[in-house]
Structure 1
Amino acid sequence: MADDTPALAVQGLTKRHGSGAGAVDALVGIDLAFARGTFTAVMGPSGSGKSTFLACVAGLERPTSGQVLIEGTDVTHWTEARRTRMRRDRIGFVFQDFSLIPYLTAAENVALPARLSGRRAQPEAIRTALARVGLENRAGHLPGALSGGQQQRVAVARALVTGPTVLLADEPTGALDSATARKVLQLLRAAVDDLGQTTVMVTHDPVAASYADDVVFLVDGRVGGRMAAPSVDAVAAQLAHLDQLTGVAR
């Protein structure tokens, strides 16, 4: 595998819901590549295809046409069993609602990916993951005894503990106040800078997007444009003029 092979790529990705006159095209010929060790924000209005894009990339939905490639391997038509293993071993997830198991401690939640794959969770790896997010002293606490920000930091630790090829974050700061959100975004940024993690984050927040290396704008299921080195003001201005996006990289 060449060094420049993207961690994640989609080619001609299309997703149609329904059929006939009532069909809705959620994605229309998406071509994107995400280099290893980069942080990309995906933005767009409601109905632009952001969630469908993430679901297709994660193997949760099958695209109508096109390809999803993980480190150059086409995983589009893998069986459900193989896609489940892929999600468990090669993709990390961070969700808006944290998605922690309420009756498991923070350490047990972080250990869950290994347990689900039939491997013994390595205590040192769990400690290191929790220390990275500043929660080594909360390892024995249940989610209900943690603040929302602490729960999301546990979720980040769980997503990173296996060293996934790609980390997918779906509105990871949507349920957090601004100060707590900043801490979570700093952790995601540090994972890219310090660990070389490839991260793709769906967000509606220009502040969150400013932590990324670049922003992909989706409009009506199509790539409307890209913005490198995004600032809060530049992203906010572009979101206010989505109808002017032309599909030319910015």
Structure 2
Amino acid sequence: MATALSVRDLTRSFGEGEHVVHALRGVSLDLPAGSFTAIMGPSGSGKSTLLACLAGLDAPTSGSVTVESDDVTGWSEARRTVLRRNRLGIVFQHFQLIPYLTAEQNVGLPVRLAGRRPDRHRVMSLLDAVGLDGRGGHLPGQLSGGQQQRVAIARALVNEPAVVLADEPTGALDSQSARSVLALLRGLVDQAGQTVLMVTHDPVAASYADRVVFLVDGAEAGRMTSPTVDAVATQLAHLDDLTRGVSA
């Protein structure tokens, strides 16, 4: 199976000397094409730092990040910006839609930023695919939170990314909207072969993934395949055991 994204021995440190903070400690991970991976761990475990390094928003201290066949670790900020625009789809917790642009315009924005004219048929097809047929002319303020997140997901898909990186995509949603968004992400994997990596605190959200990777103190502390809500919740309840395993 092809690998959409991989990291090897990834580290990220902040500060120097006795004030150094090791946010990531040698994380290695492969994302097979068409897979759904959840990253979990307590606050300060390195989840957000890992996502930032994968998205090219931050540069690792050491190690490598490979998108499809390209090692992007040493790329300049300008090249990483193009990478995010063309080959990575990013979904944020708080949607990050432009309030004065319609849903259709928000979805097509990455294409315009790349200097091209959006294919309106593709944009409208994506809105239809995420359940927003007929809402393309609505401003974000005219949409519910769940609908805004669906617009954000359509925007992330507009350039056919190698990977969709979702940062707590249900964190700002009510439970019904959250389930709808999670089912949408699951469907993208199962029906369209999209690769998704999601950072989450929620065992329900994690149960939609193919596997869960647990981080503790910046290092991998365990994995779980075919996760269930109860199994993930139980593992999270024993994070002290995971911490001891990392420290050993």
Short-chain TM bin: over 0.9
Q: Quick check: 1:36 aligned with 2:33?
A: yes
- Secondary structure, aligned partner of 1:138: coil
**For this pair of structures, how many residues does the alignment match?**
244
Residues 43-62 of structure 1 mapped to structure 2, 5 A cutoff: 43-62=40-59
Cα RMSD between the aligned structures? 0.8
Q: CA deviation at 1:5?
A: 3.7
Q: Which residue of 1 aligns with 2:135?
A: 138
Query: Aligned match of 1:7 in 4, 15, 40?
Result: 4
For the Cα contact (< 8 Å) 1:110–1:155, is it kept in 2?
yes
Query: Aligned match of 1:193 in 190, 193, 202?
Result: 190
Scaled by the length of structure 2, what TM-score is found? 0.97
Q: CA deviation at 1:29?
A: 0.5
For the Cα contact (< 8 Å) 1:92–1:168, is it kept in 2?
yes
- Secondary structure, aligned partner of 2:134: helix
Query: Aligned match of 2:122 in 122, 125, 143?
Result: 125
Could you list the structure 1 runs, at least 4 aligned residues long, displaced by more than 3 angstroms after superposition. Answer: none
**Alpha-carbon separation, structure 2, partners of 1:138 and 1:31:** 41
Residues 110-189 of structure 1 mapped to structure 2, 5 A cutoff: 110-189=107-186
Tell me the amino acid that sits aligned with residue 72 of structure 1. S
Query: Aligned match of 1:70 in 46, 67, 80?
Result: 67
For the Cα contact (< 8 Å) 1:58–1:91, is it kept in 2?
yes
Q: Give CA deviations for 1:11-60 in whole Å, capped at 9, x if unaligned.
A: 01000011111000000001111100000000000000000000001111
For the Cα contact (< 8 Å) 1:5–1:72, is it kept in 2?
no
Q: Quick check: 1:207 aligned with 2:207?
A: no
Mind listing any 5+ residue stretches in structure 1 that lack a counterpart? none
**Alpha-carbon separation, structure 1, partners of 2:76 and 2:95:** 27
Residues 103-114 of structure 1 mapped to structure 2, 5 A cutoff: 103-114=100-111
- Secondary structure, aligned partner of 1:7: strand
Q: CA deviation at 1:71?
A: 0.8
- Over the matched positions of the two proteins, sequence identity in percent amounts to 64
**Alpha-carbon separation, structure 1, partners of 2:110 and 2:191:** 22
Q: CA deviation at 1:72?
A: 2.6
Mind listing any 5+ residue stretches in structure 2 that lack a counterpart? none
